[in-house]
Amino acid sequence: MPETWWRGAAIYQVYLRSFADGNGDGIGDLAGLRTRLPYLADLGVNAVWLNPWYPSPMADGGYDVADYRDIEPVFGTLAEAERFIGEAHALGIKVIIDVVPNHSSTASAWFEEALAAGPGSPARERFWFRDEPGDWKSIFGGPAWTQVPDGQWYLHLFDPGQPDFNWTNPEVHAEFHDVLRFWFDRGVDGIRIDSAAVLVKDFDGGDPDGYTDLDEVHEIYRGWRRLADEYDERILVGEVWFPDQERFARYLRPDELHTAFNFDFLACPWEPAALRRSIEQTLDTHIPLGAPPTWVLSNHDVARVVTRYGRAETSWDHGNRRDGAPSDLELGHRRARAAALLAMALPGSVYVYQGEELGLPEVDDIPGELRQDPMWTRSGHTVPGRDGCRVPLPWAGEEPPFGFGAGEPWLPQPEDWRKLTVEAQTADLGSTLNLYRAALRLRRDRLGDGTLTWLQSRPDVLAFTRESGLTCVVNLGADPVRLPPHESVLLASGPLDGDELPSDTAVWLT
């Protein structure tokens, strides 16, 4: 299969609210992002993926979309988004945006029309309205049905501000085809599909069997793929959470999505056998389909990897978030650096969540009155939610807001982040930022798409070679291990002890 940009890309996830604030209101925006594009180019990424930037009441951080063809005024304007796409392309950076097909916003024109039109109207048939509520539970906690003033109930798998679309309605199909064309025509290179597996509903099925991975969802994406193929080098990326790799693979068939997030690798504990199983299973799933794997360590929905890897239990599970669990951040930092070299050495594409390149930890101590994640409110203030991984980035200076912008950030930054700013780490040759810069630069030349060959090693060591001749060795054991025969050390996640690789350290060799 011919090489295309997305098969071996390094893709940087921008959570716009927390990336950079250009107008001083404490919220990240397109103006701030545009000023930081040179930073992303210097970092060495091939593409950026932006979380939703559409008009939204922000009931769920922008995933409650009021208008799919415009930009949230807090972030900027449609004209500014078009300029951003052009400026990114000029720097050799592709642009991927979120599309949210499962649900809309109660502030959308369609939903407002449905409320005004009343029961039995064609406008209500675009959503799931019922005279009696079902017993499904919201993924965010509480019931998945909310009553409107005329007595009917509507379905929302997530927040009540996010009414689910009825995908048996042809109008919904036509609407999203038009949305895809709208953005592809403006130069967007890819679409990341939020909650890709839950669009189709079967109310005779249980919760979640009645909405998770039903067969009809695949026909939706076949239609999207035919549309994307009308354009040059456009891609579809699915958010698909499945432990079952056979079900996961169905989304990657040649006439469906180009790639999907590999959450099995993200959720994997820092254990050699588990990581090797995840890598081998991922490759075994993708290679027969001709689809490139993706490697993801964190994102805007999970605890940051530095904190996770410093805990006694290093795996990730949405059902058992372990928020606030004790973490040895020094250990987590060492492991996160090693994991970065491991992920970037694997064949396929790699995603870097903003701040990962700075080694930012999870912020567990955000005061309750400042938390904004609906998980916090929907759980009765028992689940802290995802705000801890969404704290605005530290760019420069000795105190908050650390160059994020002129105003007070929408979530508070820890005082001790002064050591983790881009400015501080640029001056430190051994920093995590400079490790990422070096690794991404080498990755462009030597890695990306392809295969790997495992090397014989101890059970607590992962070692493999790539087609370019680069060898990656990761020591997950307690004791140092001798490096395999090599000509030179290209990069190491931590100091080496002569010809030995210390615990929780990775190295790239030739």
pLDDT of residue 155: 98
pLDDT of residue 128: 98
Nearest to 327 by CA among 336, 338, 317: 336
pLDDT of residue 9: 96
Mean pLDDT of 60-72: 96
Q: Rounded to 5, what percent of the chain is helix, strand, coil?
A: 30, 15, 55
pLDDT of residue 374: 83
pLDDT band for 318, please (50, 70, 90 cuts).
confident
Nearest to 48 by CA among 61, 39, 57, 56: 39
Mean pLDDT of 219-232: 98
As a three-state string, the secondary structure of 206-267 is CCCCCCCCCCHHHHHHHHHHHHHCCCCCCEEEECCCCCCHHHHHHCCCCCCCCEECCHHHHH
- CA-to-CA distance for 217 and 199, rounded, in angstroms? 7
382 CB-near residues (< 8 Å, 6+ apart)? none
Omega cis (within 30) before 160? no
Give residue-wise pLDDT tens across range 250-279.
Answer: 999 999 999 998 889 999 999 999 999 999
Lowest pLDDT segment from 81-95, 109-123, 315-329: 315-329
Tokens of 413: 């930054």
pLDDT of residue 24: 96
- CA-to-CA distance for 50 and 54, rounded, in angstroms? 11
pLDDT of residue 1: 31
- CA-to-CA distance for 87 and 40, rounded, in angstroms? 12
pLDDT of residue 3: 60
Give residue-wise pLDDT tens across range 135-162.
Answer: 999 998 899 999 999 999 999 999 999 9
Instruction: Yes or no: say if 148 and 118 are a contact pair by the CB < 8 Å rule.
Output: no
The one catalytic residue in 194, 213, 264, 362 is 194
The one catalytic residue in 216, 230, 365, 500 is 230
Tokens of 374: 């609906």
pLDDT of residue 36: 98
Question: Any catalytic annotation for residue 72?
Answer: no
Question: Any catalytic annotation for residue 194?
Answer: yes
Residue 249: is its pLDDT beyond 60? Answer: yes
* Range 430-436, long-range pairs (CB < 8 A, 24+ positions): 431/359, 432/333, 432/336, 432/337, 432/340, 432/357, 432/358, 432/359, 433/357, 433/358, 433/359, 435/337, 435/340, 435/341, 435/491, 435/493, 436/43, 436/44, 436/340, 436/352, 436/356, 436/357
Give residue-wise pLDDT tens across range 179-193.
Answer: 999 999 999 999 999
The residue type of 399 is E
For the chain, percent of residues with pLDDT exceeding 70:
99
For the chain, percent of residues with pLDDT exceeding 90:
89
pLDDT band for 46, please (50, 70, 90 cuts).
very high
Tokens 């060591």 belong to which residue?
461
pLDDT of residue 382: 87
Tokens 């087609």 belong to which residue?
467
Residue 2: is its pLDDT beyond 80? Answer: no
Average pLDDT, the chain: 95
Residue 421: is its pLDDT beyond 60? Answer: yes
236 CB-near residues (< 8 Å, 6+ apart)? 190, 191, 193, 221, 224, 225, 228, 256, 257, 258, 259
Residue 324: is its pLDDT beyond 60? Answer: yes
Give residue-wise pLDDT tens across range 14-40.
Answer: 999 999 999 999 999 999 999 999 999
pLDDT band for 321, please (50, 70, 90 cuts).
confident
